[in-house]
Structures are given as C-alpha cells and as structure tokens.
C-alpha cells in the first residue's frame, strides 16, 4: 500500500511540474517573462506592453504567481528566480525544455489518434501548432548550440581544416541556420548554404544570419534536399538531426551527396544515437530518444544507429569516423572523400 501511495505522490508532483511548464510556455511565447524581466508591471501594463488581451494576462499572472514563476508586490508583478530562467534571452534559459514539453504533449495527443489507424502524416505534424512552430529552431539552437561549441567543434579536426579561401559548407535540413552561424563564427573563410523545406525556418535563418553580420557569407533557401542543385562542389555537406528524415531514400541520396562533394571534403552527420539493444534505452540520457522515436514514426522516420550511417558512407567510397558525445547519446559521423 505504501508503494502505491508513494507512486501516486510522485505522479502528483509530476503533474505539478508539467503544469508549471505549461504556464511557462504561455509566458515564453507571448513575451511575458521577457517584459517582466525588464520592468515590474501590473497585469494591465504587462498586457499593453506585450500586445496581449488584458483579461487573459490577468489570469495568467494568477497562475504564474500560484506556481512560483512570478512574485507579487502590491499591484506589480516581478520575476521569481524560476521565472528569470524562463526568459528566452537568459544565458541558461529553460526555454528549450518548456517548448519540448509542450511539443511532446501535442505529439502525444496526435499519436494517440494515429495509432488507431496506422496513418503517418509526415513532418507536417510538427507545424500544426502555430505558437510552437517559431520556437522549434530556437529550442534546437539553445539545446544543441552549447554542446557543439563546448564538445563537438573542439573534437572534430575537420572543421578547422576547411578554413580555406572559397570553402563551401552546405547544411541540409538547416532549421533556423544556427549550425552554419556557429561554423561561420569559428571558420572565417567559410561560406555556407542552408536548405530547408519549412519557410518559417528559412525566414528565421536569413534574419539571424543578417543580425550576426554573416549576410554576405551565409545564404538560406527553401527547398527539398532531393532537388539539391549546386553551382560548385561542396567541401562539407552537413546534416544535423535531418538525415533520419530522409533515410528511407538513402539509396538515392548518398550517391547524390558523393557527386556533390569536392576532393578532400566530407559528409558530416550529427544524429541522436539509437542503441543497438533495447535494454540500452534505459541508460542515462536515452529514454527521451525512445519517446522521440515514437514521434519520428508519425513523421515517417526512425532514429538511426551511427554504425548504419557509417556503413552507408563506406558504400559510396568515403572513409567514415564515428565520434560519440554525451554518454554516447549523440553521434557525429565524419565521412571523408579521400579520393
Ligand atoms: C530536426 S530538424 C533539425 C534542424 C537543424 N538541422 C538543427 O539542427 O537545428 C530537421 C529539419 O530537416 C528539414 N527537412 C527534413 N526533410 C527535408 C527535405 N526533404 N528537404 C528539406 N528539408 C527537410 C526539416 O524541415 C527540419 O527543419
């Protein structure tokens, strides 16, 4: 009996946690935390400054106050320490976890229905929520940007080798373009072209590259990876968390990648590392992959093990090296064209 009551206490705490994230999501996407971080405000002032409906904002303030996200002093609200890290501009923001949680709830609701028919609607499912879609890129950037900076870039010598005049990097499925921006910061001679199917991503990528002063070196186009048409061969063709989206057509794509790659160049794939054995799904950091893979199924995809990526690279005559990061949960495969 004690065991059941402990489990139920745990579930109640999880519901409370999930509700905190839900309330936070509303405050993040509507700029409420950012504004309160700038100046203490009444709920009316907060509504006026953010362009939101005052009655909704008043009730949001009550909820955010009740869940410890904001503090109240007389009629004004300020950010609590927890609310502080909900600001997307905070250097250690919790925005990615909040967006991921709400996206997860959306995907769960969709999958519950899709499981009844077996339908797999494809990537469109990610774009169904208009308040989530613009946060998809920032979520990935805030989650994986620091890992790239601190662990992956320093560990892969190929990145610094391509600091040559006119070096060209292509990023297929580039999202909001954060990866090319990160490369451009480190590799002063690099030019980049990002391709993505979602218009929202290309708009964000182009704007952010311009804001960071890379407008002349980085270009982003909306298009399909399968219709890649390059003016010259690339020194690097990268795909971050995008290869598994097109893996079912690997027999078409890998030869195409090979023909687009300059001598000495490389394919650079970064993918979550799906384990070989089911019991490894319980390993540290792996459970989220199992949930992600359920969502990938609805999108027509599945997560990949790095060895199958390396094998595909060998088949087209490239020489792959697999590097693992974050307890083996993230894999980077660099496949060199040594011919
Ligand atoms: C998980 S996101 C990764 C985005 C980005 N690479 C990052 O790391 O933040 C996968 C991206 O691949 C893009 N994508 C998938 N299939 C595509 C295709 N056939 N053509 C163009 N883009 C595609 C999606 O639009 C999406 O932005």
Mutate to test the pocket of ligand 1, among 196, 208, 229, 301 (most ligand atoms within 8 A of CB): 196
Ligand 1, atom 23, residue with closest C-alpha: 173
Q: What is the pLDDT along the chain (339 residues), one digit of tens a residue?
A: 789 999 999 999 999 999 999 999 999 999 999 999 999 999 999 999 999 999 999 999 999 999 999 999 888 999 999 999 999 999 999 999 999 999 999 999 999 999 999 999 999 998 899 999 999 999 999 999 999 999 999 999 999 999 998 899 999 999 999 999 999 999 999 999 999 999 999 999 999 999 999 999 999 999 999 999 898 999 999 999 999 999 999 999 999 999 999 999 999 999 999 999 999 999 999 999 999 999 999 999 999 999 999 999 999 999 999 999 999 999 999 999 998
Mutate to test the pocket of ligand 1, among 197, 222, 226, 268 (most ligand atoms within 8 A of CB): 197
CA dist 1 and 158 (Å) reads 58
pTM: 0.94
Q: Which atom of ligand 1 is nearest to the CA of 178?
A: 9
The Cα-based distances of 295 to 74, 135, 149 in angstroms read 45, 18, 28
Ligand 1, atom 27, residue with closest C-alpha: 175
Ligand 1 centroid to 146 CA: how many Å? Answer: 19
Ligand 1 centroid to 149 CA: how many Å? Answer: 21
Strands 234-240 and 261-272: parallel
User: Which residue ranges have their beta carbon within 6 Å of ligand 1?
Assistant: 140, 173-175, 178-179, 195-198, 201, 224-226, 240-242, 245-246
Residue holding tokens 């907060």? 46
CA triplet 250, 248, 202: central angle to 5 degrees?
Answer: 85
Work out the number of other CB atoms within 10 angstroms of the CB of residue 314: 11
Ligand 1, atom 5, residue with closest C-alpha: 175
Residue 260: the pLDDT is 96
Give 1's Cβ-side CA count (13 Å radius).
Answer: 0
Mutate to test the pocket of ligand 1, among 198, 205, 245 (most ligand atoms within 8 A of CB): 245
Ligand 1 centroid to 23 CA: how many Å? Answer: 28
CA dist 224 and 178 (Å) reads 19
Residue 1: the pLDDT is 75
Residue 127: the pLDDT is 86
268 close to 333: Cβ distance less than 8 angstroms: yes
Give 202's Cβ-side CA count (13 Å radius).
Answer: 15
Ligand 1 centroid to 175 CA: how many Å? Answer: 6
Sorted by where each starts, the structural domains of the chain and their CATH numbers stand as 2-89 (1.10.10.10), 132-336 (3.40.50.150)
Q: Give Cβ neighbours of residue 257 (< 8 Å, ≥ 6 apart).
A: 237, 267, 316
């Amino acid at each position: 009996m004690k065991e059941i009551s402990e489990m139920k206490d745990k579930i109640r705490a999880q519901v409370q946690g999930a509700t905190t994230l839900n309330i936070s999501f509303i405050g993040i996407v509507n700029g409420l935390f950012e504004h309160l971080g700038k100046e203490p405000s009444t709920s009316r002032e907060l509504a006026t400054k953010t362009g939101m409906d005052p009655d909704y904002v008043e009730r949001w303030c009550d909820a955010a106050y009740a869940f410890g996200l904001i503090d109240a002093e007389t009629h004004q609200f300020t950010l609590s320490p927890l609310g502080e890290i909900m600001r997307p501009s905070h250097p250690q923001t919790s925005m990615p976890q909040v967006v991921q949680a709400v996206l997860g709830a959306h995907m769960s609701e969709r999958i519950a229905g899709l499981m009844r028919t077996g339908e797999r609607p494809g990537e469109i499912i990610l774009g169904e929520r208009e308040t989530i879609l613009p946060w998809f890129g920032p979520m990935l950037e805030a989650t994986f940007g620091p890992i790239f900076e601190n662990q992956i870039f320093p560990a892969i010598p190929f990145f610094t080798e391509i600091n040559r005049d006119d070096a060209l990097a292509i990023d297929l499925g580039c999202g909001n373009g954060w990866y090319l921006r990160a490369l451009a910061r480190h590799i002063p001679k690099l030019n980049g072209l990002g391709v993505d199917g979602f218009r929202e991503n290309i708009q964000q990528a182009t704007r952010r590259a311009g804001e960071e002063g890379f407008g002349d070196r980085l270009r982003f186009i909306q298009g399909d990876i399968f219709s890649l048409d390059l003016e010259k061969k690339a020194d690097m063709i990268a795909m971050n968390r995008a290869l598994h989206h097109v893996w079912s057509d690997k027999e078409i794509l890998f030869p195409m990648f090979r023909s687009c790659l300059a001598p000495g160049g490389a394919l650079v794939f970064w993918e979550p590392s799906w384990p070989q054995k089911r019991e490894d799904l319980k390993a540290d950091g792996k459970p989220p992959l199992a949930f992600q893979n359920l969502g990938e199924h609805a999108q027509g995809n599945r997560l990949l093990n790095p060895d199958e990526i390396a094998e595909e690279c060998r088949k087209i005559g490239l020489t792959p090296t697999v590097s693992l990061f974050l307890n083996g949960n993230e894999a980077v495969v660099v496949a060199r064209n040594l011919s």
